[in-house]
Amino acid sequence: MICLDNKRRIHVGATARNKSNGSGATMVVIKRVSIIGSGYMGSGIGMASSRGGYLVTLMDIHADALTKALRRIRARLQEVYVDEEDKIQEVLQRIRTTTSLEEAVKDADLVIEAVTEKLGIKQQLFKLLDTLSSSNTILASNTSSLTITEIAAEVSERRKTQCGGLHFFNPISLTDIVEVVPIAETSNETLDLLMSYVKGIGKKILKCKDTPGFIVNRVFVAYTGQTFQMLERGDATIEDINTAATFVRKMPEGAFARWDNIGLDVVLCVLENLHERLPEGDIYKPTTFLRELVAQGKLGRKTGEGFYKYDVSEDGDVPAMI
């Protein structure tokens, strides 16, 4: 996962890039997609984009994170294309990696950020992307709880017409919808291109207003908060809540295994953001128990322990619950 801080500086050397249809009019066609952040969501977006035929650049400031991301993508592709190595190679060949933000965005038609769910980090990244990217590049955020308006607050007025949200759901290879979120300044052309991209990767479009949590998470995370609060009050055990979840929400893995799959640090960030921003905020108030797990580094499947313990494989992925 990429993490930018105030001490990090990137020297700007990119110049504006225009595409022409031969008559002098500018045309934008999404062919090259860059994803910033190579964690579970970033690598999943990269895989989905490549499977859709797009040329993908996956960027992370940590080279080892990119190595793990490629291993993770290959493992997922082996599940999708059983005994079809030629198709796996075809998808992988459309993905390149880099640790340079400037290199990642210089030819991109669409840049999707998938970094940690912290407003300051996302705002700083969008400001850098505005400076480094081509004049025609569309900037999108995969945020799950912040508004796109907040994230794009410091970009130029012209760039705001090329900003929007693309909220994917984990695991991306098994979910079939993407929330597409325009802001007040988003142009019709940008919105059309974002929706065309989503269709191009074989997903259904759920168009949303730019509100915290959009549509799915406003419902889903309220339920999340209730499961944590019931557990902390001692109203029910993890096993009982999971049994209810499999019945009510059709979650085969149960509620707490679901949170482990997402990452408890991500869940905590989402709950904090919605708790601060929504009128029904107490529904989303994080519990002490969740905070303690995150403070202890027990983040779920990706660290080998959360509400459950997991068997961590060599490539950093986690295949099964113990």
Predicted confidence band of residue 318 (pLDDT cuts 50, 70, 90): very low
In this structure, are residues 20 and 26 in contact, taking their beta carbons and an 8 Å threshold? yes
Q: With a threshold of 0.85, does the pTM exceed it?
A: no
Average pLDDT over residues 10-23: 34
The pLDDT tens digits of the residues spanning 200-226 come to 999 999 999 999 989 888 877 777 777
Q: Are 165 and 186 in contact (CB under 8 A)?
A: no
116 lies in the same domain as 225: no
Please identify which of the residues 113, 150, 179, 185 carries the catalytic annotation. 179
6 carries an active-site annotation? no
Question: Of the residues 117, 133, 167, 305, which is catalytic?
Answer: 167
One domain, residues 202 and 77: yes
- CA-nearest of 57, 50, 68, 42 to 318 is 68
Do the domain assignments include residue 265?
A: yes
Asked if 276 is an active-site residue, the reply is no
The CATH number of the domain holding residue 191 is 3.40.50.720
167 an active-site residue? yes
Residues 143 and 100 in one domain: yes
Which entry of 144, 145, 242, 273 is annotated as an active-site residue?
Answer: 144
Domain, as residue range, for 251? 216-309
Determine the pLDDT at residue 226. Answer: 78
Mean pLDDT within 274-295: 86
Pairing of strands 163-167, 177-182: antiparallel
Q: Is 144 annotated as catalytic?
A: yes
The residue among 13 and 182 whose pLDDT is bigger is 182
Query: Which of the residues 49, 133, 141, 217 is marked catalytic?
Result: 217
